[in-house]
Chains A and B, each alone.
Chain A
Amino acid sequence: MATREQEFEDRKQSSFIKRAQSDFTTVAWVLIPVAVGINVIGGTLTNVLRIPLYLDMIGTILLAVLAGPYVAVVGGLLTNVVLSFTASPTLLPFGLVQAAVALAVGYLAVRGWFRIREGKGYLKLVGVAVVVVLVSVIVSSPIVVLVFGGVTGGPTSVVTGVFLATGQELITSVVATQFLVEPVDKIASVFIAYFIAKSVPERYRPSFGQKSIS
């Protein structure tokens, strides 16, 4: 459909405040805690299924695709606020990563990167995943270095340790570690989020999501 391409035209021409206002419908507000829940539950389910990934951003990505970048930023930040309350406050700073990814994915969603019509179209998703990986490495590495001195205590710390042992600088070791760990996790997250979003029938999608996915 040709009109699909134009769906977001009014949006692109409107002011930032107008755009944000039109995204924050009551349905979008109610969707935010749901996305936070999915971010948190995603991690639980990977444990049940013994999948060696975090998948703690599926909710944020979904929210960005279904309700737009601004709503997703709120959802992303809130995820880590809530995790501080339910798991550990050390997770609080990583809310910035969620927020950055939310903006990036939401922007790509407006640009039609989640509208896929043929087999080749899935390359778009790979593109989204690459952006997500870049954004999360760029935002999370400084946090890991400045707040945690490069070591978060998780299994990835061992990898960072190996890099340090070979004589690398702290920031280089952290960035290298992130580039080793993140791609698989984020590619999986983007694809899973896309397939979930696609299985949501149109009538249950917020108006943003009716235009962004196909």
Chain B
Amino acid sequence: MSLIDIDDVTFTYRTQSDDVHALENVTCSIEQGSFVGVTGPSDAGKSTFGRLIPSYIPNFFDGNLSGTVTVDGVDMRETTIGEQSMKAGMLFENPFDQLTGASTTVLEEVGYGLENLALPVDEIISRTKWSLELAGIEDLVMRNPQRLSGGQSQRVALASILAMQPEILVLDEPTSQLDPQGSEEVFRIVSNLDREEYTIVLISQDLTRLAPHLDRLIVIDDGQITHDGTPTEVLTDPTIEDRAVPVPDPVTIGQRLRSNGYVDETAPVPVSMADAVEELQPYAPTTRPAGGTTDGVTDGGAASADGLVANDVGIRMDDVVFRYNEEVEALSGVSLDLDAGCVCLIGQNGAGKTTFAKHLNGLLEPTEGQVTVGDLDTREHRVARIAQEIGLNFQNPNDQLFHNTVDEEIRYGPKNFEYNDERIDELVEDAVERLELEDVREKNPYDMGQPKRKRVAVASVIAMDTPIVVLDEPTGGQDAEGNELLGDLVESLVSDGVLVVVITHDVDFASRYADRLIALSNGEVLLDGSAREVFGQPDVLEETDVSPPIVTQIGQQLGLEKTVLTVDELFAQLERTSEASG
């Protein structure tokens, strides 16, 4: 018998209609000590799958469950969540919501469950220390859990679960709300856990980070397991759909090498970046270019704006300095002219990205310097007025949605501007169409998953019909399909002459869609140019903790002459090199 046995499980949430199943006839066994990844599109049933293991289904979520789930021989109908928590712990997506909220120090937070178990103080302390060390956060022990960053908070939550000493860890999208550093840390900790002691089920869309660590990868789509095997088997399966599973670049590269006859077809396909580089090494140029990698850049910064419809309403920032509490400087002398195309803003947390965004519509006013949007000085106009020129969409859709239907929600902005009914109808129609929300138009936004809700929030800003649109982290938590949709949206807005500013951690998105890429660091502009120019300077980017996209990094590690942004470009370069040398 396996540690976890899921036998012919079908589940329907009470609030779902009877003919819709969150999971349908799912059968799956997980062996002790294995590291299983679960992936698939949003709302496909991945979380529901995860909730079976700590007995949240059926003990917390009401609904109709058929089939059986047993963990270590115990039927989940026969246990309680409290009991089961000592066998299986679950880490959730939102780093802040899963803290108790009643602790003033991380020590109390991690010790909370142990206090409830009535363990002696000695043991509480030793277990707390042990789990803090496992999560690498001993230095946070005295901090207030409410004041941590997302990444830190997520690790405190993980430590709190580890302290209960479960043998199974279920992690439900643990990194989708974290920045790249936070994600990296969480993946590092989880992959370093002793595999003799832990069985890990990790649900994630981030296959690039996840795949190299896995023994097994399960794809869930539409409530069913569609693929189940080693990561290499699953990712190279010809039936895998791009929509459901974004195949990591190293795998794509490996497959191209095999189909083009460079590598023996039977050799295992590389999953990690390091393996891909190793396979490519023989075809790389033997001599490295003398100068920096930027020498080979073909397009200049100015060239990027060529051919774009310049907007009559642009943003001008003049030596903008922003201080809060009279001392902390969040922006220190930023001067920029933004006029057309898709401008992406990258940089580490604390680099000033959100402060920057809030300056664009006057939510924050510069301490020194000037921000003008069109001909409006942000200091002289109300936010509600500037909002007619610039639609700003914040990262968390839950901060803005409150209507009973998607349609009403999208209507809210245009109605505030008192446009006439006809125009409002048109704008709503257009926004619904662009974000593909037709079939959920009459649904409550909160009856959908967070990724789709994000699309509603974006639509509600697009419908304001502003000449400038600012999107904060639009792709966070989106699946492959959602990424594609948002990318298309940005492109279509740009071709309509809208200036689109995107604040993002997603370097792949920036690499694909940015006409201009600006890297911020410590409140200053670090780099400003085309994606190729900016990603071509990884050493400078490191100052703000940004790594170029994987394929660009592979190119750089191989010492290619020019910066590559796609797998196609990578192969084109390699072929040119091999022609030159051969």
Q: Which residues from chain A sit less than 8 Å from chain B, CB to CB?
A: 33, 198-204
Q: Which residues of A contact B404 (CB under 8 A)?
A: 198-199
Q: Which residues of B contact A202 (CB under 8 A)?
A: 15
Please name the residue on chain B nearest to A27 by beta carbon.
B60
Q: Which of B413-455 contact A (CB under 8 A)?
A: 444, 446-447
Within the assembled complex, what's the spacing in Å between the Cα atoms of A201 and B453? 13
Q: How many A-B residue contacts, CB cutoff 8 Å?
A: 16
Within the assembled complex, what's the spacing in Å between the Cα atoms of A200 and B444? 9
Cβ of B402 under 8 Å from chain A: yes
Q: Which residues of B contact A201 (CB under 8 A)?
A: 15, 444, 446-447
Nearest Cβ on chain B to A60's Cβ, whole angstroms: 19
Please name the residue on chain B nearest to A195 by beta carbon.
B402
Q: Which residues of A contact B120 (CB under 8 A)?
A: none
Within the assembled complex, what's the spacing in Å between the Cα atoms of A201 and B15? 10
Please name the residue on chain A nearest to B62 by beta carbon.
A207
Task: Please report the total number of B residues contacting A with Cβ < 8 Å.
Answer: 9
Within the assembled complex, what's the spacing in Å between the Cα atoms of A198 and B404? 8
With A33-B101, A203-B446 already in contact, 14 other A-B pairs whose C-beta atoms are closer than 8 Å: A198-B404, A199-B402, A199-B403, A199-B404, A200-B446, A201-B15, A201-B444, A201-B446, A201-B447, A202-B15, A203-B13, A203-B15, A203-B447, A204-B446
Within the assembled complex, what's the spacing in Å between the Cα atoms of A201 and B446? 6
Within the assembled complex, what's the spacing in Å between the Cα atoms of A152 and B402? 37
Q: Which residues of A contact B403 (CB under 8 A)?
A: 199
> Could you list some 16 contacts between A and B, CB below 8 A?
A33-B101, A198-B404, A199-B402, A199-B403, A199-B404, A200-B446, A201-B15, A201-B444, A201-B446, A201-B447, A202-B15, A203-B13, A203-B15, A203-B446, A203-B447, A204-B446
Within the assembled complex, what's the spacing in Å between the Cα atoms of A199 and B447? 11
Q: Which residues of B contact A198 (CB under 8 A)?
A: 404
Nearest Cβ on chain A to B87's Cβ, whole angstroms: 19
Q: Which residues of B contact A199 (CB under 8 A)?
A: 402-404
Please name the residue on chain A nearest to B446 by beta carbon.
A201
Within the assembled complex, what's the spacing in Å between the Cα atoms of A198 and B447? 13
Nearest Cβ on chain B to A46's Cβ, whole angstroms: 18
Q: Which residues of B contact A200 (CB under 8 A)?
A: 446
Q: Which of A33, A198, A199, A204 is most buried by chain B, counting CB atoms within 10 A of its CB?
A: A199
Q: Which residues of A contact B101 (CB under 8 A)?
A: 33
Nearest Cβ on chain A to B100's Cβ, whole angstroms: 9
Q: Which of B396-420 contact A (CB under 8 A)?
A: 402-404
Q: Which residues of A contact B446 (CB under 8 A)?
A: 200-201, 203-204
Nearest Cβ on chain B to A26's Cβ, whole angstroms: 8
Please name the residue on chain B nearest to A203 by beta carbon.
B15
Q: Which residues of A contact B13 (CB under 8 A)?
A: 203
Q: Which of B270-325 contact A (CB under 8 A)?
A: none
Contact with A along B5-23 (1 / 0, CB 8 A): 0000000010100000000
Within the assembled complex, what's the spacing in Å between the Cα atoms of A199 and B400? 13
- Report the 3 A-B pairs with minimum CB-CB distance, sorted nearest first: A203-B15, A201-B446, A201-B444
Within the assembled complex, what's the spacing in Å between the Cα atoms of A74 and B101? 18
Q: Which of B1-42 contact A (CB under 8 A)?
A: 13, 15
Q: Which of B502-541 contact A (CB under 8 A)?
A: none
Contact with A along B88-131 (1 / 0, CB 8 A): 00000000000001000000000000000000000000000000
Within the assembled complex, what's the spacing in Å between the Cα atoms of A203 and B13? 9
